[in-house]
Amino acid sequence: MAVIAQSPVAAFELGVLVEVFGVDRTEEGVPAFDFTICTSQGAAVAATVPGISLSGASTLDGAATADLVAVPSSSMDEPPGDDVLDALRSASERGAYVLSMCSGTYALAWAGLLDGHRAATHWRYAAHLQHRFPRVHVDDSLLYAQAGNVITGAGTAAGIDACLHLVRLEHGSSVATKIARRMVVAPHRDGGQKQFIDKAIPARVGGGLGALLDAVGRTLEEPHTVASMARQAGVSERTLARWFVDEVGATPHAWLSGQRVLASRHFLETTDLPMDAVARHSGFGDASTLRRHFQRDVGVSPATYRSLYSATQA
């Protein structure tokens, strides 16, 4: 793989690429990656952290035959040089993976690789990216997005998710989990063909609603309904609905269903439980109901999801 670093290169995103692909973990059963850092003309580039710079990089020729070309954060105001744009287009045309992290998505957009496709970037830049590149479908709810061989990661730590997603695609869940374990991160926060953020309870949610969400989230296997949650919170269903929309950004029913889908994903990834048992433990009751909600939210059936992401079947 080859990383194309541009000045000022983001130290964290570059470090993530080094950690995932540049560290030799063959003794742990992780494949060896041929890792190269490239810059235009092989020139030194400054980092976003004062006092840190990168020198000794290869020229962009190092990206010419790479199976993966990655771009950490880059400028949002000026396009990369023509040589960088040509390297990105060439990589995509020959079928190599092209991966961006955070504002590195701009480089891919300038190269025309995202036209007509869904893309992710840091939520702070999503509106600007959409305005600057109206042919790109920017989705600020994603940790990462994939369009064919092009993968775009959202801000900062979401770059880890994007990298592990790619490792999982090429080498399976077992290898991705080994790398994640060494990095002390979750091996799979998000995935499938319809990626979405595992939304936590917003920090501003407190009081009765915060306690309710915590209690329901810990007992999803119980037969919770909107009516039972309203009784538990001591308010009317209408008031509960207003609280949810204002504080969580979803209806009570949508939130509850989403949490149960997340729980079922965990069971599918980490256990060999039969589908009926997965459904019961996640609160759907039966496999038919699980399949209906799972297909709608994730875009694949529970069985397909398990075959793709289960560590027990790797």
Q: Rounded mean pLDDT of 50-76?
A: 93
Answer whether 0.75 is exceeded by the pTM.
Answer: no
| In a shared domain, residues 160 and 18 | yes
| In a shared domain, residues 273 and 175 | no
Give the pLDDT score at 273: 93
Helix residue ranges per DSSP H, the chain? 11-17, 82-93, 105-110, 126-132, 158-171, 173-183, 207-218, 226-233, 237-247, 252-270, 275-282, 287-298, 302-309
More confident: 203 or 117: 117
Cβ neighbours of residue 100 under 8 Å, at least 6 residues apart?
70, 71, 107, 108, 121, 151, 152, 153
Q: Which domain holds residue 153?
A: 2-183
| In a shared domain, residues 220 and 172 | no
Give the pLDDT score at 309: 76
**pLDDT band at 208; cut points 50, 70, 90:** low
Give the pLDDT score at 203: 38
pLDDT tens-digit series, residues 98-128: 999 999 999 999 999 999 999 999 988 988 9
The sign of the torsion formed by the CA atoms of 259, 261, 265, 267 equals positive
**pLDDT band at 299; cut points 50, 70, 90:** confident
Task: Give the domain CATH number at 252.
Answer: 1.10.10.60
Burial class (CB in 10 A: 0-12, 13-18, 19+), 296: exposed
**pLDDT band at 195; cut points 50, 70, 90:** very low
| Element housing 101 (H / E) | strand 97-101
| In a shared domain, residues 126 and 261 | no
* Chain center to CA of 122: 11
Q: Is residue 199 part of a domain?
A: no
Q: Which amino acid is at 314?
A: A
Burial class (CB in 10 A: 0-12, 13-18, 19+), 135: exposed
Q: Could you say which of 150, 183, 216 is where a domain stops?
A: 183
